[in-house]
Structure 1
Amino acid sequence: MPVADDPRRLADGIALIAGQARAAALYSSVPLSFWGGVDPRTGEIIDRHHPLQGQSLKGRILAIPRGRGSCTGSSVLLELILNGAGPAGIVIAEADEIIALGVLVAALMFDRSIPVFCVGQEAFAALAEADVLAMDGTRLTVIGAHDEASWLLPNDSTRQRPMDLTDRDRAMLAGDHGRARQFAMQLMVGMARLFGASEFIDVSQAHIDGCIYTGPASLRFAEQLLAWGGRVAVPTSLNAISVDRRRWRELGVAPAFGEQADRLGQVYLELGARPTFTCAPYLLDSAPEFGDQIVWGESNAVAFANSVLGARTLKYPDYLDICAALVGRGPLVGPHTSAGRRGRIRIDVTLPQGADDSLFPLLGHHLGALCGATIPVICGLAESRPTTDDLKAFAAAFATTGAAPMFHIVGVTPEAPTLADALGGLEPERHLAVGPADLLEVWREFNGHGGGQAVEVISLGNPHLSLAECEAIAGLCEGRRRAEGTRLMLTMGRKVHEDALAAGWIEAIERFGGTIITDTCWCMIETPVIPESARTLMTNSGKYAHYGPGLTRRAVRFGSLAACLDAAVTGQFSPQPPDWLIA
């Protein structure tokens, strides 16, 4: 490596956010989701699937290839920065909008910041041997046990193309439409420049993920926009929030948390959003149509909208989603463009015979990790005729372990009638194969984090249940009764709940002994809604099987919908993989 006084210039690096820091390095070659992966109060890494699990990033310079998973990562990073539990700086191999956005909000609204450098793959690999990292403006110094290296990165200003703004864009940026829209445009322009967009487009709707309460900073941010006179400019739906607004007191949620989470939901309503409170906005009557330009947060919803509906949205980080809704504009980059939607990896899947509905969350979890930030084209699934709920489960798991905003399934999703169409007529950059052995490995990973065979909580509805899923669950409950000491708990949006109630399916589920929760979702549910005595949960969600152990500090089991209902009846989980996985 070059010596520190003779720095190498990194042509493919960029100082996303300049600044100064010197601290012990915390390195991993595995991407990290801040939401569900890092405790926003302490900085402890809680993702039990991550090699850094149990370590603290507080005061250290975190080096990871990129982020992954939830759009709420930006909100968690903001909390960490404001409460003093965050990293001293972040070095990534690939530009990441969720990480950059959290730091940019801290800088623009709260005058707090940390440096964020993007150094490219080659330089990033050299950080594995670092004991200490030093970030100074656009200079990164790597200090190891026996040597020292230094790189100079171009400042982001050297790469910025001039923004092609409309007269209305300029007026909002100048403050002519109020302080809230001025701030929103400042943040939008900052992010657009960081990621290479030179203009904005009109969007037809927004879905806000930033209404999840991650701590005081999330509420301070929303209340500031409201105090500045903020009002959404396009129809806007709200994601699941952190409590069931109508029942959180009845469910035993502590007022200190419930009141703040409830207040955050109310602020977004006062900003003009609708009280949809669902992480599955594609189930609403307002779901976008093919080709619609939209602004959606919530990682599973983004993947579903882009891939299954053929709408066009970035994976909008928390806070950028509401800013885009305030101005009705989005940066013309990534999946908003045709070129940004082209698949680049071909994946041939060999399906096991007789697979049940747990196939798609297992497959999504595996392919998300396999693809990273690159859009895949998946071959071999058309004959399985996946349902909307199969694709929902796949999209959620895929978005949990990956960073790509969409996927194509040849013969299934609308932009992939053929392999050539999905690849845009070009050859794939990589060609991979996936088979039953890969899925069995994921099943064992999901079911291998401690705990016994007893199951105290059955967790269904991550993402929120559809009407068809409610019907299926009601059918599985018919003539049966849950085991004493085991709870069946389901989350769903208000609209699905109303329709399922009218159809009689809620009555059948409650007769079995099930509990229905609306407005919130499993990634936000904690004790006492999950009983203090519960040690093991079971779910059919690949997303929750990944996040649940870290979020709840409990064992989580995974299985099909039928297996989950069987466990609700017996109170027991079968440790044997299903026959179709081991045949």
Structure 2
Amino acid sequence: MSLISCGRTLVAGEAGGELLSAELGLSFWGGVDPRTGIVIDQHHPLCNRSLAGRVLAIPSGRGSCSGSGVLLELILNGHAPAAIVISEREEILTLGAMVAEVVFDRSIPVLRVDREVFARIGEYQYARVAGSSLQLLHEPPAENGQPIPAQHGSSEDTTIHLDPIDQAFLSGEHGKAAQVAMRLLLRMAAVQEAEAFMDVSQVHVDGCIYTGPASLRFAEMLVAWGARVRVPTTLNAISVDKRRWRAQGVADDLGRPASALAGAYHAMGAEPSFTCAPYLLETAPKFGEQVGWAESNAVVYANSVIGARTMKYPDYLDICIALTGRAPLAGCHLDAGRRATLALNVEMPRDTDDSFWPLLGYCCGSVCGTEIPLIRGLETSAAEPDALKAFGAAFATVAAAPMFHIAGITPEADGQSPERQVRIELSALQQAWEALNTAASPEIGLVSLGNPHFSLGEFAHLAALVRGRTKAADVAIVVTCGRAVFEGAAQAGHVAEAEAFGVQFVNDTCWCMLGEPVIPPAVRTLMTNSGKYAHYAPGLVGRGVRFGSMAACVEAACSGRAQLEPPAWLI
């Protein structure tokens, strides 16, 4: 027996194959190898499984906005899933398939089905997608079997209102690059059920991260088509330190294309800010400002902590917004799209250190999925921006939601009253600690700090922790940071104090893009204070991880050993 149902076509097409399903969303960036299609996220139930040629069924994407770039690489190199079936709102993977179709004339179908249908997918071993139809089977489909009814229709078909400027972009009056950008924006507007477009004041582009040859091909095509940004545009951290990658020993086959990709976006008029923490720049948006940001932690911080308004824009849609200055009026751009639908009640432990915030962010993100949460119980914590930065980065790593509210702390928390409630117990924080500490050995060879990029406050904190101390000779300690913050820290004297201890600094890129030789080949275990990097590092660089506070990281740099036990506040 088979089950046939209909869903909503996000990207049209027809495909079938072995079914690979999970009840947990998957971040393609940091979770899937863009060269092979093998799942590398060691925290995911599909870890070590190949997506190539299979029908992938997951509730949604999650985590990094660069997942669209990874899917595009897989589609163009032949290691993509045959089709993707989802049950929740999903834009990152959908956009990757759209870019493949619109720009490269290759794609895979993406279908959204009801939650009730998705709940039964695990009962089956094979699936076929045809337009809006899904067939689930226990046995491989016969080659000459009865075709399932297919309802084809592009998600570009929409009744969205177009202003004269939108029509001008679409007709090609402003050049081919802007025309292609508007086509992609129109497709995404239909997915988001937007009724119109809106102006944005600035854009932060995440698509400058080098995911493989396709990412460079896309950017260079835009440049060849005369692409120029129409609003102020900053660039995310790229895949190498653009000024020093050769001196750092980075191989040409990464350094050259990654640097060329950054150069292509700069040629379009984007500012070479090269930071994953654009909220630390002087150009950071103000409360209520409508912007078009990508980079998962930046989106969450902008929406939640600043109160600016942006969707969690996928890579490649970000530059489309920059080329037009237009974005779909939907989701977090609207009051209704910013409301909390889930309350997370936290009992804050006493005498916590700064590892509390990424641990809690990891817990909250794991629970909420696509829902925007209101977090209660932290009203007296006096959370500083760096704490919220660490919380938001870990939250965005495992959640699909574009923002959070924290009662008494974030600017839009007042008046939020979701009915559904979940309690975050101390045991959940303990489980997060165990999940992020994947190395059994206490011996470490590298301390990695700055994911997201270091702030000036973190520079000052580190300088105070290392003052008058001596680092172990066989332990490297490396900080990644943006150029602007690094210059400010140098003027304040923090860089000199850290370098006296033995800290090395890397600009332009961050830990999610770094590998050997910046990570010494002999290092088997690293330590970090980043919940985001503790999650991604085992899959990205094949190292065990110890996680802890910044003070614990400095202690480990001095002794060469990490403390295996959780901090006292967590016991």
TM over 0.5: same fold? yes
SS of residue in 1 equivalent to 2:120: helix
SS of residue in 2 equivalent to 1:383: coil
Q: Deviations over 1:330-365 (max 9, x none)?
A: 100000001000111111110111111011100001
Alignment of 1:64-83 (within 5 A): 64-83=58-77
How far residue 422 of structure 1 moved from its aligned partner, in angstroms, is: 2.3
How far residue 90 of structure 1 moved from its aligned partner, in angstroms, is: 0.7
Is it true that 1:208 corresponds to 2:205 in the alignment? yes
How far residue 138 of structure 1 moved from its aligned partner, in angstroms, is: 2.4
Is it true that 1:107 corresponds to 2:101 in the alignment? yes
SS of residue in 2 equivalent to 1:79: helix
CA change 1:207–1:159 in 2 (3 A) is: closer
What is the distance in 2 between the residues matched to 1:544 and 1:463?
9
How far residue 528 of structure 1 moved from its aligned partner, in angstroms, is: 1.1
Q: TM-score, normalised by structure 1?
A: 0.95
Matched letter for residue 554 of structure 2? L
What is the distance in 2 between the residues matched to 1:63 and 1:153?
19
Q: Deviations over 1:415-439 (max 9, x none)?
A: 11x3xx124xxxx241111122111
Is it true that 1:378 corresponds to 2:375 in the alignment? yes
* Aligned twin of 1:194: 191
SS of residue in 1 equivalent to 2:367: helix
Q: Deviations over 1:51-108 (max 9, x none)?
A: 1111111111111111100000000000010011111111111131001100000001
* Aligned twin of 2:48: 54
CA change 1:150–1:506 in 2 (3 A) is: farther
Is it true that 1:234 corresponds to 2:228 in the alignment? no
How far residue 34 of structure 1 moved from its aligned partner, in angstroms, is: 0.2
What is the distance in 2 between the residues matched to 1:140 and 1:315?
28
Q: Is the 8 A contact 1:334 1:341 kept in 2?
A: yes
* Aligned twin of 2:441: 452
Most deviating of 145-154 and 492-501: 145-154
Q: Is the 8 A contact 2:439 2:544 kept in 1?
A: yes
Matched letter for residue 430 of structure 1? R
Is it true that 1:439 corresponds to 2:436 in the alignment? no
What is the distance in 2 between the residues matched to 1:450 and 1:120?
40
* Aligned twin of 1:144: 138
What is the distance in 2 between the residues matched to 1:442 and 1:68?
18
Alignment of 1:434-583 (within 5 A): 434-447=424-437, 449-582=438-571
* Aligned twin of 1:243: 240
How far residue 521 of structure 1 moved from its aligned partner, in angstroms, is: 0.4
How far residue 316 of structure 1 moved from its aligned partner, in angstroms, is: 0.4
What is the distance in 1 between the residues matched to 2:150 and 2:530?
41
Matched letter for residue 136 of structure 1? A
Alignment of 1:321-340 (within 5 A): 321-340=318-337
- Quick one: which of 102, 126, 129 aligns to 1:132? 126
What is the distance in 2 between the residues matched to 1:176 and 1:28?
45
SS of residue in 1 equivalent to 2:283: coil
SS of residue in 2 equivalent to 1:384: coil
How far residue 159 of structure 1 moved from its aligned partner, in angstroms, is: 10
Matched letter for residue 184 of structure 2? L
Which consecutive residues of structure 2, in runs of 5 or more, have no partner in the other structure? none
Identity of aligned residues (%): 54
What is the distance in 2 between the residues matched to 1:484 and 1:375?
46
Alignment of 1:23-422 (within 5 A): 23-144=17-138, 161-416=158-413, 418=414, 421-422=415-416
Q: Is the 8 A contact 1:140 1:152 kept in 2?
A: no
Matched letter for residue 371 of structure 2? T
What is the distance in 2 between the residues matched to 1:144 and 1:218?
38
Q: Deviations over 1:507-562 (max 9, x none)?
A: 11111011000000000001111011010010000100111110011101100010
Q: TM-score, normalised by structure 2?
A: 0.97
Which consecutive residues of structure 1, in runs of 5 or more, have no partner in the other structure? none
Q: Is the 8 A contact 1:477 1:512 kept in 2?
A: yes
Q: Is the 8 A contact 1:119 1:153 kept in 2?
A: no
Matched letter for residue 560 of structure 1? S
Q: Is the 8 A contact 1:347 1:433 kept in 2?
A: yes
What is the distance in 1 between the residues matched to 2:112 and 2:550?
42
Q: CA RMSD in A?
A: 1.7
Matched letter for residue 526 of structure 2? L
Q: Is the 8 A contact 2:156 2:186 kept in 1?
A: no
SS of residue in 2 equivalent to 1:382: coil
Matched letter for residue 260 of structure 1? P
State the number of aligned residues. 568
What is the distance in 1 between the residues matched to 2:116 and 2:156?
20
What is the distance in 1 between the residues matched to 2:140 and 2:402?
41
- Quick one: which of 6, 16, 20 aligns to 2:10? 16
What is the distance in 1 between the residues matched to 2:188 and 2:419?
28
SS of residue in 2 equivalent to 1:348: strand
Is it true that 1:430 corresponds to 2:420 in the alignment? yes
SS of residue in 2 equivalent to 1:173: helix
Q: Deviations over 1:296-355 (max 9, x none)?
A: 000000000000000000000000000000000110000000100011111111011111
Q: Is the 8 A contact 2:344 2:376 kept in 1?
A: yes
Matched letter for residue 550 of structure 1? G
